[in-house]
């Protein structure tokens, strides 16, 4: 079907494009091995995040989300984006409808997914196939059963009919002028049971005009040595382009993809961040990085590899799932170093403890500080912050960390609070004293609804109207209204500000009141918002009881930082972390390392410069309040 593997550019580009890609690939990348004989020169990267990836538990994307994810994938430079299954649900149908006018792909080809025709029916009047031809894409992918067990048990039809279903469906779609990719479902399990049937299905699709035969490990339990053996055997039986689609149930999805490529597969399917049902699909970031940087196989355009980390994080934001910090290549911990011994060597030779230069994939070396850390770790961290710490200052930081970590603080998870400790020790106080706190108070108040007994609550729920009635109520308790209000008193310059806010809980109310009090005075705080709140109760060595550790994540346009608070009182622990989260934004603005208008000034701005409060403001008390039901 397609020419000999490796002889032609697999991404559908012209030979001229291909040469340009190849030459830029080898230029200036010390980690990239040259082209390895026996390996394909290039593979097509086929992303199925929007179809297979959305099977992941907890992932629910709107059409808008899907369009934004597709833009990111195109920005990364994948060859194909599988957008969904038109006809299977109205959302995917709307996606394809809107994609044809709203999605402007510069690099990728959008693919619609579906299945073969039903058993004992004609392709002409099959609804699934009709939806595919109406999706408005130039390419489609259909799935067919390649395991005899699934044909006889799930489809309850004959093997001959299953082969005809594959053949008819591909022919129908080709006649409609579409490029057709063919997903052979349960291929590896099917091949183990009945290789002749699995190969018959492939041949039928190839003869009917399928462009690539994609070997799927649908249950995800195959190991790499078996993948190598089976793909090599298939390779000997067909000259068609082969694709690889692996699930990660045995933790081998990426390894299996690489094994398939070693045996000549030239289309690699997977999902950003390894999203997918159960243990997920093959992680495309690791697949791309391994192929490009370690195997010398071209994937996405070489000059876009450095986009891998940013795209992985951006997509994680769009699908609203926290990215696993340990995700290879792109996770925040992928190049994080903790032990002091490592980091002193890391300063001298970064390649001694890192398998690639992190910037090749757009990531960076991160030094994680804890009481285990030595002076060299702290020095490196200080250098990253643009601070110079002399020997006594360094010792002060070490002593502080040791004392606080003993009390339950955990600085490796709180880079923001650590930054404050280091800045305070360095003597550069810009931003640290931007405001001071006089007091804070939080009140939580519950009162029964008038006549709010158990019967009334049940009756209200039965009516099913209004948010208050829908509130989760223990069936044995009476219904009521819960309100939380916080008041914060702070001083900015000569001004005293009293702010009161309501919230859906004590931390939310405190955060709202603190922001209301200080945000109007500092431009650096305008885009700052909390993104995560985690509480852990630690058993204390002391007999007095447990302490609570609170970790907050905060983001602005330039990044994310974590702050920490520890106390026997959860409100106090939360307050410490909240105040730190605001102060980090201010010190970064003052130092010109973060957001805020002072960033362009650089260098040592005075603390006063980050305040937009008129200095001549009278020493009066300003009272602000937001009373609003949430």
Name the site residues for Zn ion (rule: CB under 5 A).
52
Q: Considering the complex, state which of residue 52 and residue 502 has its C-beta at the smaller distance from Zn ion.
A: 52
Pairing assessment for the beta strands 547-556 and 559-567 based on DSSP bridges: antiparallel
Nearest distance in Å: CB 183, Zn ion: 8
Residue 5 in contact with residue 38, Cβ under 8 Å?
no
Give the residue among 626, 594, 589, 622 at the shortest CA–CA distance from 493: 622
- Spatial distance between the Cα atoms of 1 and 212, rounded to a whole number of angstroms: 9
Q: DSSP letter for 150, please.
A: I
Tokens for 420?
Answer: 């404050």
Q: Considering the complex, state which of residue 9 and residue 270 has its C-beta at the smaller distance from Zn ion.
A: 270
Nearest distance in Å: CB 270, Zn ion: 9
Nearest distance in Å: CB 397, Zn ion: 50
- Spatial distance between the Cα atoms of 483 and 486, rounded to a whole number of angstroms: 10
Nearest distance in Å: CB 160, Zn ion: 26
Residue 50 in contact with residue 319, Cβ under 8 Å?
no
Q: Considering the complex, state which of residue 143 and residue 289 has its C-beta at the smaller distance from Zn ion.
A: 143
Q: Considering the complex, state which of residue 52 and residue 92 has its C-beta at the smaller distance from Zn ion.
A: 52
- Spatial distance between the Cα atoms of 156 and 98, rounded to a whole number of angstroms: 37
Nearest distance in Å: CB 186, Zn ion: 10
Nearest distance in Å: CB 275, Zn ion: 11
Q: Considering the complex, state which of residue 280 and residue 596 has its C-beta at the smaller distance from Zn ion.
A: 280
Nearest distance in Å: CB 269, Zn ion: 8
Non-local (6+) Cβ contacts of 80 within 8 A are 44, 45, 46, 47, 108, 109, 110, 111, 139, 181, 267
Nearest distance in Å: CB 5, Zn ion: 23
Nearest distance in Å: CB 246, Zn ion: 8
**Residue number, nearest CB to Zn ion:** 52
- Spatial distance between the Cα atoms of 447 and 380, rounded to a whole number of angstroms: 54
Nearest distance in Å: CB 179, Zn ion: 20
Q: Considering the complex, state which of residue 201 and residue 517 has its C-beta at the smaller distance from Zn ion.
A: 201
Q: Considering the complex, state which of residue 184 and residue 397 has its C-beta at the smaller distance from Zn ion.
A: 184
Nearest distance in Å: CB 113, Zn ion: 10
Tokens for 183?
Answer: 């997903």
Nearest distance in Å: CB 218, Zn ion: 6
Give the residue among 213, 212, 216, 164 at the shortest CA–CA distance from 189: 216
Tokens for 459?
Answer: 């009756």
For residue 111, what are the CA distances in angstroms to 47, 64, 83, 287, 410?
10, 18, 6, 20, 47
- Spatial distance between the Cα atoms of 468 and 479, rounded to a whole number of angstroms: 9
Nearest distance in Å: CB 317, Zn ion: 24
Give the residue among 207, 131, 199, 113 at the shortest CA–CA distance from 167: 207
Helix axes 570-591, 415-426, angle to 10 degrees: 60
The dihedral of CA 27, 31, 37, 38: what is its sign?
Answer: negative
Q: Considering the complex, state which of residue 229 and residue 278 has its C-beta at the smaller distance from Zn ion.
A: 278
Nearest distance in Å: CB 9, Zn ion: 26
For residue 350, what are the CA distances in angstroms to 306, 342, 343, 377, 556?
18, 10, 9, 13, 29
Nearest distance in Å: CB 49, Zn ion: 11
Q: Considering the complex, state which of residue 193 and residue 278 has its C-beta at the smaller distance from Zn ion.
A: 278
- Spatial distance between the Cα atoms of 43 and 438, rounded to a whole number of angstroms: 62
Match 């009334």 to its residue by tokens.
Answer: 456
Q: Considering the complex, state which of residue 52 and residue 580 has its C-beta at the smaller distance from Zn ion.
A: 52
Non-local (6+) Cβ contacts of 564 within 8 A are 409, 410, 411, 413, 414, 417, 549, 550, 551, 552, 576, 577, 580
Q: Considering the complex, state which of residue 261 and residue 293 has its C-beta at the smaller distance from Zn ion.
A: 261
Q: Considering the complex, state which of residue 83 and residue 408 has its C-beta at the smaller distance from Zn ion.
A: 83
Tell me how far apart the terminal alpha carbons of the chain are, to the nearest angstrom: 62
**Interior/surface letters 361-370, b for 16+ CB within 10 angstroms, e for the rest:** bbbebbbbbb
For residue 489, what are the CA distances in angstroms to 508, 512, 613, 622?
16, 13, 16, 10
* Beta strand extents in 374-467 (DSSP E only): 436-448
Nearest distance in Å: CB 245, Zn ion: 6
Q: Considering the complex, state which of residue 269 and residue 479 has its C-beta at the smaller distance from Zn ion.
A: 269
Q: Considering the complex, state which of residue 192 and residue 342 has its C-beta at the smaller distance from Zn ion.
A: 192
Pairing assessment for the beta strands 179-185 and 139-145 based on DSSP bridges: parallel
Residue 83 in contact with residue 96, Cβ under 8 Å?
yes
Q: Considering the complex, state which of residue 41 and residue 185 has its C-beta at the smaller distance from Zn ion.
A: 185
- Spatial distance between the Cα atoms of 517 and 529, rounded to a whole number of angstroms: 15
């Amino acid at each position: 079907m397609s020419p000999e593997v490796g002889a032609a550019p697999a991404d559908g580009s012209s030979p001229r494009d291909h040469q340009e890609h190849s030459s830029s690939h080898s230029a200036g990348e010390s980690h990239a091995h040259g082209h390895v004989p026996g390996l394909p020169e290039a593979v097509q990267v086929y992303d199925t995040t929007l179809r297979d990836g959305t099977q992941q538990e907890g992932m629910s994307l709107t059409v808008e989300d899907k369009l934004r994810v597709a833009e990111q994938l195109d920005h990364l430079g994948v060859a194909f984006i599988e957008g969904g299954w038109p006809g299977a649900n109205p959302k995917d149908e709307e996606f394809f409808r809107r994609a044809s006018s709203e999605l402007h792909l510069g690099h990728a080809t959008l693919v619609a997914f579906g299945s073969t025709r039903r058993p004992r029916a004609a392709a002409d009047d099959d609804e699934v196939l009709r939806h595919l031809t109406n999706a408005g894409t130039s390419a489609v992918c259909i799935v067919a059963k390649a395991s005899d067990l699934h044909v006889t048990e799930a489809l309850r039809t004959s093997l001959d009919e299953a082969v005809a279903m594959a053949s008819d469906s591909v022919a129908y779609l080709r006649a409609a002028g579409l490029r057709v990719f063919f997903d052979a479902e349960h291929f590896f399990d099917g091949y183990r049971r009945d290789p002749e049937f699995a190969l018959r299905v492939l041949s039928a699709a190839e003869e009917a005009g399928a462009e690539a035969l994609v070997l799927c490990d649908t249950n995800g339990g195959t190991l790499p040595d078996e993948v190598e053996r089976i793909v090599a055997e298939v390779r000997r039986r067909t000259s068609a382009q082969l694709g690889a689609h692996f699930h990660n149930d045995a933790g081998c999805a990426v390894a299996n993809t690489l094994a398939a490529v070693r045996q000549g597969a030239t289309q690699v399917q997977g999902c950003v961040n390894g999203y997918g049902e159960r243990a997920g699909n093959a992680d495309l970031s690791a697949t791309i990085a391994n192929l490009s940087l370690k195997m010398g196989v071209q994937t996405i355009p070489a000059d876009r590899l450095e986009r891998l980390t940013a795209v992985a994080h951006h997509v994680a934001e769009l699908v609203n799932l926290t990215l696993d910090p340990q995700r290879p290549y792109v996770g925040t911990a992928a190049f994080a170093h903790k032990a002091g011994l490592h980091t002193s060597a890391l300063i001298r030779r970064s390649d001694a403890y890192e398998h690639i230069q992190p910037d090749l994939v757009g990531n960076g070396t991160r030094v994680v500080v804890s009481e285990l850390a030595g002076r060299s770790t702290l020095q490196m961290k200080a250098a990253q912050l643009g601070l110079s710490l002399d020997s006594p200052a360094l010792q002060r930081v070490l002593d502080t960390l040791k004392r606080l970590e003993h009390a339950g603080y955990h600085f490796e998870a709180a880079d923001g609070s650590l930054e404050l400790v280091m800045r305070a020790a360095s003597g550069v106080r810009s931003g640290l004293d931007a405001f001071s706190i006089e007091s804070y108070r939080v009140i939580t108040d519950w009162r029964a609804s008038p006549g709010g007994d158990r019967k009334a609550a049940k009756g209200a729920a039965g009516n099913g109207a209004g948010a208050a009635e829908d509130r989760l109520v223990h069936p044995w308790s009476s219904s009521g209204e819960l309100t939380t209000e916080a008041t914060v008193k702070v001083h900015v310059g000569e001004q005293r500000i009293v702010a009161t806010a309501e919230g859906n809980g004590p931390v939310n109310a405190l955060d709202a009141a603190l922001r209301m009090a200080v945000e109007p005075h500092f431009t650096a705080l305008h885009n700052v918002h909390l993104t995560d709140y985690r509480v852990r109760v630690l058993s204390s060595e002391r007999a007095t009881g447990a302490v609570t550790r609170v970790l907050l994540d905060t983001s602005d346009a330039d990044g994310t930082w974590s702050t920490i608070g520890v106390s026997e009182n959860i409100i106090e622990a939360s307050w410490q972390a909240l105040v730190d989260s605001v102060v980090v934004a201010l010190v970064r603005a003052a130092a010109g390392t973060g957001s805020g208008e002072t960033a362009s000034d650089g260098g040592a701005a005075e603390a006063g410069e980050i305040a937009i409060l008129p200095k001549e403001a009278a020493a009066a008390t300003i009272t602000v309040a937001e009373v609003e039901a949430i």
